[in-house]
Amino acid sequence: MNKPTLLVLAAGMASRYGSLKQIDGVGPNGEAIIDYSIYDAARAGFGRVVFVIREAFAETFMAAFTPERFGGAIEVDFVYQELHKLPEGFAVPEGRVKPWGTNHAIMMGAEVIDGPFAVINADDFYGYDGFRTMADYLRSLPEGAEGTYCMVGYKLANTLSDYGTVSRGECVVDEEGYLTGMTERLGVRRTEDGGVVYDSENGPQRIDEQATVSMNMFGFTPDYFRRSELLFRDFLSKAENMENLKSEFYIPMAVNHFIADGSARLRVLSCDSQWFGVTYKEDKPEVVARIAALIEAGEYPATLFRG
């Protein structure tokens, strides 16, 4: 069976971080978080990685993440997420500068992906077991499967930042392990009393810190591209979305729609890996320390790839 593809969402401009965090070194030899993700993906059985980037920093990014960097362990490709990449008949509203969102980024993969694929964020550390769990599921799918999706879920308490708010997709899972709905929670943070809240129209609301959340580690069959384009057309056809220059086409929006209309099911997978990431510059020292501890424990070599 063909090896699944890994689609890495790396088009964010990292305004809260203050620099291009996708290439910022956190390992002992200047390795970025992406390097650890690719290392884990390759040994879990992924055969190719496709980076979704922006033309604005493409030269810098592509110079850093060459096939040679990964020692021939995995094929490398690039696609671009740009404002003008819209379905035929639509144009970018005047004054729009904000990207169209995470599901629009996934849609860019349709140019080069024709089989089962996984999606991750470039700046999140998912751990080997997450990639192994995902790869095993995607390889188990029958040829030509459609509407058979999955995600690796993490506990909310293990995904917070000490230095600012984050956005998380809160998941509801049925008794059979399938997602019934996902709600984007904005402004998620820990309070002084140790609880966790998110922002809503009615002010801060409590949320269970043991809740399962999405960290954008999804698995899809290629029909997801076709379904997403149709849904994106509907999104763009609504005046409130075109007039709001900050409106975004999120992954949870698409996933929820496909589940609700019965065209897809999404299995929520669990794994033993711990998630961590860098949202703010202040998060970096902790990430560096955690990676150093994993190397010390023998989970990763000091040098990831040897060409």
Over residues 165-195, the pLDDT tens digits come to 988 989 999 999 999 999 989 999 999 999 9
197: buried, middle or exposed (CB in 10 Å: 19+, 13-18, 0-12)? middle
- Give the domain range for residue 42: 5-296
| Any domain includes 107 | yes
Residue matched to tokens 């499967």: 145
| Any domain includes 235 | yes
**Residue 306 — pLDDT band, cuts 50, 70, 90?**
low
pLDDT at 228 over 50: yes
| pLDDT, tens only, 235-283 | 999 999 999 999 999 998 999 999 999 999 999 998 878 888 887 788 8
| Any domain includes 304 | no
Residue matched to tokens 């860019």: 108
Residue matched to tokens 């949320």: 207
Average pLDDT in the 115-143 region? 95
The answer to whether the Cα torsion of 4, 101, 160, 252 is positive or negative is negative
| Any domain includes 306 | no
Average pLDDT in the 7-17 region? 71
The two three-digit tokens of residue 212, written as one number: 């399962």
| Any domain includes 303 | no
Q: What is the DSSP letter of 70?
A: G
| Any domain includes 147 | yes
pLDDT at 18 over 50: no
d(CA 286, CA 277): 9
Instruction: Report the candidate in 123, 171, 150 with the shortest Cα–Cα distance to residue 224.
Output: 150
Q: Report the Cα–Cα distance between both ends of the chain, in Å, rounded.
A: 26
Average pLDDT in the 275-302 region? 90
d(CA 211, CA 296): 31
d(CA 124, CA 122): 6
d(CA 138, CA 116): 6
Q: What is the CATH number of the domain that holds 235?
A: 3.90.550.10
Give the mean pLDDT of the chain.
91
| Any domain includes 96 | yes
Instruction: Report the candidate in 177, 195, 176, 167 with the shortest Cα–Cα distance to residue 252.
Output: 167
Query: Could you tell me the pTM of the whole model?
Result: 0.91
Q: Which of 17-21, 175-179, 220-224, 278-282 has the weakest average pLDDT?
A: 17-21
Beta bridge partners, 74, equal: none
- How far is residue 284 from each of residues 161, 189, 277, measured CA to CA in Å? 11, 18, 8
Domain count, the chain: 1
* Coil vs helix vs strand at 153: strand
| Any domain includes 307 | no
